[in-house]
Structure formats: structure tokens, C-alpha cells
Amino acid sequence: MMDELMDFAEVLERFDPVLGLEVHVELNTASKMFCGCATAFGAAPNTQTCPVCLGLPGTLPVLNGKAVESAIRIGLALNCEIASWCRFARKNYFYPDMTKDFQTSQYDEPIAYEGHVSVETGGVVYEVPIERAHMEEDAGKLVHVGGATGRIEGAEYSLLDYNRAGVPLIEIVTKPVFGTGDRAPEVAREYVADLRDMVRALGVSDVRMEQGSLRCDANVSLMPKGSDTLGTRTETKNLNSLRSIERALRYEIRRQGAVLAAGGRVTQETRHWNEAGGYTTSGRSKEQAEDYRYFPEPDLVPVAPSREWVAELRATLPEPPAERRRRLTTEWGFTEAEMRDVQGAGALDLVLATVVAGAPPAAARKWWVAELARRANETGTDLDGLPITPAQVAAVQALVDAGTVNDKLARQVIDGVLAGEGDPAAVVAARGLAVVSDDGALGVAVDAAIEANPDVADKIRAGKVQAAGALIGAVMRTMGGKADAAKVRELILTRLS
């Protein structure tokens, strides 16, 4: 893009980045926040609406108790205080995708506040302070038709789908995060990955970034080294993968560095991340809170969760992420470094699910962290966005363990699964990938290899068993990599002993 960028390392010599992360989690309640409409993803447009979520005059909202329960559980998992009394507020705006023209949200009385989570990256633990987690409703969706990008620019017209209007959201906002230095982009990514795992473990959301059930806006500013005055922040939206959070922040840090170093000023604004181009563009200049004319929602009663209920909900919390990581490290017999790789690749839940599906932990780790992480990187997606399930990875490993395929063929099986050719067994059948271990077929190839390499054969006869590798390689080549290597070795040694 046009932006002047400063070298990342150079920015870090002169400035300290400060992060601020806003994460929206769409709850998986059966019905919406204030009405009984269904919330299923992908339904035909405007089939999940009613007078309440369409904001028709005379309708009254009724609060979804399950959503409050989920909000409290999220708040507790973030080590927050839970309000004993709080209210909703109207956030007034021109919302084409929300006909009421206000969002029912929480403002100065959030259900959860003052929490903290710790995030580990590169072996260092960072404390991320949580400002609040509040309840609100989602807006509908504008579908821009006719443009090349799906954005409003260049579109011929726009359609409105109100299915999402009124779906319960929890917005989790950090306090400014200081002291992450050159790890700032990774800490942000790790924080969101941890949050995702935590919310998934709570069972209150599908947390699928690519479907928008977990969305992150990333704020960042730069502080000159030695200063303690916050710089002006930008807020980058449109981040729908963990990878884009990290990339966008790195970009913004480099861009702001260049602006400040040239004596310029950073404009407080929202920015959009362009994933394909790898740059941010300017959005709207940011409203101040006053502009929204917040006021307490008169149509809803205050929320006053009893301390007994909060205690009951606390008892339902899953194991905290750090403890869980420690437990699994021991159970799986991983080293700290191996577990860090798993965590760093965002693969913990995937490895766990693969182990649950029957794979040995080391194999599950190898496939996700070595093989699949590389492919995710190549295609620019997150690991859990790859079209392969933990059960399928476990099935690939089962084929390896049964000797049906070797490691090399297993990679081709994975290619097939990723290409949508079906389950591993189906891919093996369709692509003819099974290893040949039949003595007859292998014997012919072994004899041919011995004949073609008489000098190697002589060495083996003379007792240099290591030389067998050359013959095994030759057999592998004639059989397109599909020979059972152990069997081939055995046949060679019996023939030449």
C-alpha cells in the first residue's frame, strides 16, 4: 500500500507498543438476547426475526436468562468481579443493520469487571488486565452486492439480513496492555487464542473466527521509550483469524512508527485489515463515548445475580488453561518445549481431540504441529480452519500404525482429505496409496534391485548390513514409494545372507 513503514526492530528501539483488545463472543444460546427467535448460523435471510428484534414500535424486550448465565461464567473465567446489580444501556447511533437505531448494550455498569488472564508466549508469561466483559446484542448484516470486494465501495446496492440482529454477544475489553515489547503482536494473538480455548471449554459459544462468532478489534499505540504518556491508538477491525491479528498489529506498529518518526501524528481512527494485501486502510474517525448518548435502558429490569447463583456458576468452571496445560504436558509425556510448540501453533485443543480419537500424543503433535501447521501457513488459514478433523488425523495415524501406509504416503492421504476426497480410508482406496507388503510383488522388485546393484549386494553378503539402505531405496523408487520398508529389508537380508 501507500503507507510508509518503519522496520519493526527499529520501531521497537524507539517506542513501546501498547495493546488494547476488544473481543466479541457470540453466545450459542438457542434464542436471541431479548426475544425467542432462533440463532442458527446460515439460515435463509430474515427467517429468524420477529417484531422485537426488528425493533418495531410497541414491542418490549425480555432478557434471555441463559445469556446472563453464560456472561457470568465468562466473567468468572476471566477472574472478574461479578456485579451484584447492573443495567443495560442504549447506545444510540445510525445503524442501518439495527432498525431500532440503538444497540442494547452495557455501558458503565457491566456484568463483569476488573479481571486478568495470563498469556504465555516464547516461554514468558504476560498478565493481561481485563477492564470489563459486558452483554450486548449483535446487529444484522449488510450484504453489499455488485462490487468486486463485497465492501460498500463499488457496490450497486445493499441487502439487509436481520437474522443476526439481537443475537447475544459478550464483549471482552482489556485495559491497555503494557510491557509486551517486540512480542506485542504475538501476545495479542496468544491472548485471543487462549480466550477462544477458554470460551470453547465453557461451552457457551462455537468461537469460530471465520464465521464471526469470535471477532477481535485490535487497538495499538506507541509510546516513546522512557515516556509514560499513552500515544494515540488506532483500532483495526475485520480480523477474522489469529494470524491476521498478529499481522495487522505488526503492520500498524510499523506504520505508526514511520508516522511518529517523521514528526507526524497518528490519527485516532478505526482501520480495516486487508488480508490479501497485508495492509490496513483508514476507516472512520472514531466517535467519542459522548456521541452515543448512552442512557439506561428503561424497558429492561436491572440484572441482580444473587451471590449464591454466582457461587454455583463458579463451581461449573472448567480447569483454568494454565493448569490444564500443565496437566496435559505430564499426561502426554511432552517436554515444556514441545508443549510450547503445540500451544504456539494454536493446536492444543486439536491435539487433545486427536488423542481422544485414539492417536498416540506424540503422533497427534507431529501431525498438527509439523505437517498441518505448515499447510495452514501456506494457505493463510488458522489450523482449525483446515478442512480436516482431529478424528481424520487420528485415522491417518491408525493407518500408519497398522502398516497400511508409511509416513510419506500418509502425507498424501492428508493431501486427499484436505482436497475434499473424503475420509483417510477412502483416500487410500481411491488413490491406491496402500503400502505393498505382499512377498510376491516385493520379491520381484527386490530381485531386480539386487541384480541392478551387484556391488551393493556383495557388500551386504560380506556383512555390511548398513548397505541395505541403498537397495531399499531402489525398491522404493520402482514401487513409487509404496513398499513396506521393513518387509523389503527383511527380504533383502534373507536373500543375501
In angstroms, give the least distance from the CB of 43 to Zn ion. Answer: 13
Write out the binding residues for ligand ADP, residues 80-139 only, by CB under 6 A.
Answer: 131
Q: Which does 176 bind (CB under 5 to 8 A by kind): ligand ADP, Mg ion, Zn ion, none?
A: ligand ADP
Decide: is 53 part of the binding site for Zn ion (CB under 5 A): yes
Which H helix or E strand runs over 73? Answer: helix 65-77
**In terms of Cα–Cα distance, which of 467, 101, 120 is closest to 323?**
120
- 159 φ, ψ to 5°? -110, 155
- Percent helix, strand and coil across the chain, each to the nearest 5: 40, 20, 35
- 110 φ, ψ to 5°? -75, 155
- Per-residue contact flags (x/-) with ligand ADP for residues 14 to 53, judged by CB under 6 A: ----x-xxx-------------------------------
Between the two ends of the chain, the Cα-to-Cα distance in Å is 68
Per DSSP, 368 falls in state I
Cβ distance 132 to 110 under 8 Å?
Answer: yes
Angle at 141 between CA 137 and CA 145, to 5 degrees: 170
In angstroms, give the least distance from the CB of 389 to ligand ADP. Answer: 34
- C-beta closer to Mg ion: residue 22 or 275: 22
- Per-residue contact flags (x/-) with ligand ADP for residues 208 to 227, judged by CB under 6 A: -----------xxx------
CA separation for the pair 327, 72 (Å, rounded):
26
Q: Which does 35 bind (CB under 5 to 8 A by kind): Mg ion, ligand ADP, Zn ion, none?
A: Zn ion
Decide: is 321 part of the binding site for ligand ADP (CB under 6 A): no
Q: Which does 230 bind (CB under 5 to 8 A by kind): Mg ion, Zn ion, ligand ADP, none?
A: ligand ADP
Number of residues in contact with ligand ADP under rule CB under 6 A: 17
Cβ distance 135 to 68 under 8 Å?
Answer: yes
**In terms of Cα–Cα distance, which of 243, 251, 254, 242 is closest to 272?**
251
Interface residue with ligand ADP, options 99, 114, 158, 176 (CB under 6 A): 176
- C-beta closer to ligand ADP: residue 86 or 388: 86
- C-beta closer to ligand ADP: residue 18 or 111: 18
- By CB under 5 A, name the binding residues for Mg ion: 22
- By CB under 6 A, name the binding residues for ligand ADP: 18, 20-22, 131, 173-176, 219-221, 230-231, 233, 235, 286
